[in-house]
Structure 1
Amino acid sequence: MASRRRMLLKVIILGDSGVGKTSLMNQYVNRKFNNQYKATIGADFLTKEIQFEDRLFTLQIWDTAGQERFQSLGVAFYRGADCCVLVYDVNVAKSFDDLNNWREEFLIQATPSDPENFPFVVLGNKVDLDGGNSRVVRCLIVLHSFT
């Protein structure tokens, strides 16, 4: 039997305050949802192991504060990231409009070796609110295509 190879991947979650970054992380890792909103102070992280083909991956998922006053902490938290998840609230157009600023700030502070090909994932959150009646962002325009 072939031995499993283990790999650590650091994933950063970014987006405006209140878009649901913490809820997404907790739902993905713990399969739990908490209705009580509590702003993240600085950053927090959870880990999750997943298997893909013959490899075992440990995802270190960093949930960062969306408030501007904590953005100066970015350098320490972003360094060594393997992927960045940009989250917006489909019911708040500004949170979608701010995604490019989050992306640019991440690239400045993380200084990845190949910024043109760094993997970003964009997630629209809160599609379940109000039966979709409050939704203002209806479609996603691709900012960058990945090959």
Structure 2
Amino acid sequence: MDVSKKRRTLLKVIVLGDSGVGKTSLMNQYVYNKFNQQYKATIGADFVTKELQIDDKLVTLQIWDTAGQERFQSLGSAFYRGADCCAIVFDVNILRSFETLNNWREEFLKQIHLILSHFLS
């Protein structure tokens, strides 16, 4: 099938979790197949894209790497807007990062609910 005739889909994926749990490493490993042991903390958000072919459909993943620091969580609505899903990340060596998973989940659901209720009203 001609590539130009294939259906294209864009999915926005946001990566959430505490600061320093490896969100940037995970994203770079998945997209670029690269690992760097030294990363600087993400400020705000950054995103990369990855194209996949699933059957006859081209899927572009827009993967947003969000800062885990609490001071950036208030910027949430802009990051969450248009998100199709999220990946919540923790560090197996840091118990606290596991204990906060539900907070990240609740924040995601809250932000999506606020965005949808604003959109639907």
TM-score by shorter chain over 0.5: yes
Distance 2:41 2:99 in 1: 21
Say how many residue pairs are matched: 113
Q: Residue 28 of structure 1: SS of its match in structure 2?
A: helix
Other-structure match for 1:65? 67
Q: Tell me the residue number matched to 1:27.
A: 29
Residue 101 of structure 2 corresponds to 99
User: For 1:39-58, what aligned pairs fall within 5 Å after superposition?
Assistant: 39-58=41-60
Structure 2 residue aligned with 1:12: 14
* Helix, strand or coil at the partner of 1:104: helix
Task: Tell me the distance in 1 between the aligned counterparts of 2:111 and 2:8.
Answer: 28
One-letter amino acid of the structure 2 residue matched with residue 107 of structure 1: L
Could you tell me how far apart the structure 2 residues matched to 1:86 and 1:46 are? Answer: 17
Residues 63-142 of structure 1: pairs in structure 2 closer than 5 A: 63-111=65-113
Cα separation, 2, equivalents of 1:36 and 1:89: 16
Structure 1 CA distance for aligned equivalents of residues 75 and 48 of structure 2: 18
Aligned residue for 2:42, secondary structure, equals coil
Q: CA RMSD in A?
A: 1.3
Alpha-carbon distance in 1 for matches of 2:111, 2:49 = 23
Letter aligned with residue 64 of structure 2 = W
Query: Higher helix fraction: Structure 1 or Structure 2?
Result: 2
Gaps of 5+ in 2: 117-121
Report runs of 4+ in structure 1 exceeding 3 Å deviation. Answer: none
CA distance in 1, matches of 2:38, 2:86: 25
Paired AA for residue 53 in structure 2: Q
- Which consecutive unaligned segments of at least 5 residues does structure 1 have? 114-147
Identity of aligned residues (%): 75
Distance apart, 1:93 and its partner CA: 1.1
Q: TM-score, normalised by structure 2?
A: 0.89
Cα distance in 2 between the residues matched to 1:29 and 1:83: 17
